[in-house]
Amino acid sequence: MAGLLSALAVAGCSFAPPAQRPEMRMPARLSGDGIPVSGQPRPDVALTPQERDFISALAPDRDLASLVAWALAANTDHRLALLQVEQSRAQYRVQQADRWPTVGLSATQTRQRFDSAERDGRYGQKLVSATVGISDFELDLFGRLKSLSDAARERYLASSQGQQAVRGALVAEVLRLYILERSAAQALGVTSELRIQTAELLSIGQRQRSVGLASDNDVDRLRAQDDRAAIAEAQAREARLGALRALKLVAGVDVTPAGPLEPLARVPSPPGALRDLDSRLLLQRPDVQQAESELRAAHADIGAARAAFFPSVRLSTGIGTASEGLRGLFGVGSGVWSFIPQLTLPLFDHGRRQAELDLAQARREASVIGYEQAVQHAFREVLEALDAQATVREAERRQADQDDRVQRRMQRATARAEAGWVDRADLLAERIAAQQSALARLESQRDLALNRVALFRAFYGVSLPASVASL
């Protein structure tokens, strides 16, 4: 009775941890102002050599490595990917443990009584036993457990590669947002100056109209120009705030970017170097490796499904003591040994095993397609980045030449204005043209810097030759 009461008491207990709502990093209002940041000390996250080299080549004068480390420590997608790796590792350990016998201690008390004295004397039992042994251990004669273990191992490797793919995407996203913020910040400065100049030019036009030197159409054109400058300034301000807000949310830390955009657009490697690489290098990408591991896991699942058609051999054995009461449990002559082999072959399972085999084969075919898609996606991503590289480089070069010409023209106009040869309105018109050219050059520099990040993302996890190691 005491044992029964103890069992009932334990059954009422729960070892589950209490469920609590986790703390969330959210702004106090939907305006997004005052985004909460992590109050933890600087994370000790080591960057890979590829990440470190690219960040150093992209911005050697800025501490972008710390920003990326913060993002790797705080970003929820990356943390979730790490936990998925831990889950897959634990599942692999479970499958590995199933291949070995489990040794356990068992204590039982059996009492069996019959109303008939004759049957009670023949079949009645009063037995207490304590044994140590193996229970229900499956002999893996046909490789079912090995196939399940292999599948779990490959899925663990796939989750690890998937985590690397998430990491590469996160690093690229942090750098992309940083470039967008720097571009928008500089564009805001240019558009603010542009708005001042268009407003002054509009004021001059209005004064000229009042004395009959300008028509209403001339003033309307100047007002439209001023309106476009005001819109461009507002858009640049919103773009900067949006990029800065996104950067804080991704990195989980308060950040104040600084520095010009132009150094980020300097490409160290020759234009055609990447196109001459062996295309098989892309098979090293984490997403391709992940798809390959998933394909191997699907093959192992087929092996386990096929092995289920063969007989299952299980063993149970134990050694211990048994007696009619606890006093004689360890007495002389109380030893007991048991050996229970079991052979099982399902005859009629209503097609269950065949369905499981068909399911495994269908999943294998889906994994083949998934691997093909991963390879195609890798090639498409690389080719798009390489194709854009030539275009953005040429656009940046031409825009730089044009901007230099516009700047020289403005300098000449300034000199003429100081000499009294041109009026204030003509000088403002030249300055407005120079500001517009500067905006176009900023856009070309932004596109070139973003293309560098796109190439880094496309070749993430790939061992590149030393000649093109710096993208």
- Mark whether 115 and 54 lie in a shared domain: no
- Mark whether 322 and 421 lie in a shared domain: no
User: 3-class secondary structure for the chain?
Assistant: CHHHHHHHHHHCCCCCCCCCCCCCCCCCCCCCCCCCCCCCCCCCCCCCHHHHHHHHHHCCCCCHHHHHHHHHHHCHHHHHHHHHHHHHHHHHHHHHHCCCCCEEEEEEEEEECCCCHHHHHHHCEEEEEEEEEEEEEEECCCCHHHHHHHHHHHHHHHHHHHHHHHHHHHHHHHHHHHHHHHHHHHHHHHHHHHHHHHHHHHHHHHHHHHCCCCCHHHHHHHHHHHHHHHHHHHHHHHHHHHHHHHHHHHHCCCCCCCCCCHHHHCCCCCCCCHHHCCHHHHHHCHHHHHHHHHHHHHHHHHHHHHHCCCCEEEEEEEEEEEECCCCCCCCCCCEEEEEEEEEECCCCCCCHHHHHHHHHHHHHHHHHHHHHHHHHHHHHHHHHHHHHHHHHHHHHHHHHHHHHHHHHHHHHHHHHHHCCCCCHHHHHHHHHHHHHHHHHHHHHHHHHHHHHHHHHHHCCCCCCCHHHCCC
414 is a domain residue: yes
- Mark whether 185 and 325 lie in a shared domain: no
* Domain containing residue 336: 102-139+311-344
Q: How many domains does the chain have?
A: 2
End position of a domain, from candidates 328, 344, 360: 344
6 is a domain residue: no
36 is a domain residue: no
CATH (domain of 414): 1.20.1600.10
pLDDT of amino acid 10 = 54
End position of a domain, from candidates 344, 369, 394: 344
- Mark whether 384 and 365 lie in a shared domain: yes
- Mark whether 289 and 325 lie in a shared domain: no
- Mark whether 180 and 192 lie in a shared domain: yes
End position of a domain, from candidates 321, 344, 367: 344
106 is a domain residue: yes
CATH (domain of 123): 2.20.200.10
pLDDT of amino acid 36 = 54
26 is a domain residue: no
pLDDT of amino acid 449 = 93
- Mark whether 48 and 116 lie in a shared domain: no
86 is a domain residue: yes
- Mark whether 330 and 389 lie in a shared domain: no
- Mark whether 81 and 114 lie in a shared domain: no
- Mark whether 316 and 383 lie in a shared domain: no
Global pTM value: 0.83
pLDDT per position in the chain (471 positions), as tens?
A: 445 555 555 555 777 788 777 766 666 666 655 555 555 555 677 899 999 989 988 888 888 888 898 889 888 888 889 899 999 999 989 888 888 888 888 888 888 888 877 787 777 777 788 888 888 888 888 889 899 999 999 999 999 999 999 999 999 999 999 999 999 999 999 999 988 888 888 888 888 888 877 788 888 888 898 899 899 999 999 999 999 988 888 887 788 888 888 888 887 655 567 888 888 999 999 999 999 999 999 999 999 999 989 888 888 888 888 777 666 667 666 778 888 888 888 888 888 889 999 999 999 999 999 999 999 999 999 999 998 988 898 898 898 888 888 888 888 888 887 777 767 777 788 888 888 888 999 999 999 999 999 999 999 999 887 766 566
pLDDT of amino acid 21 = 76
320 is a domain residue: yes
383 is a domain residue: yes
- Mark whether 150 and 199 lie in a shared domain: yes
- Mark whether 224 and 126 lie in a shared domain: no
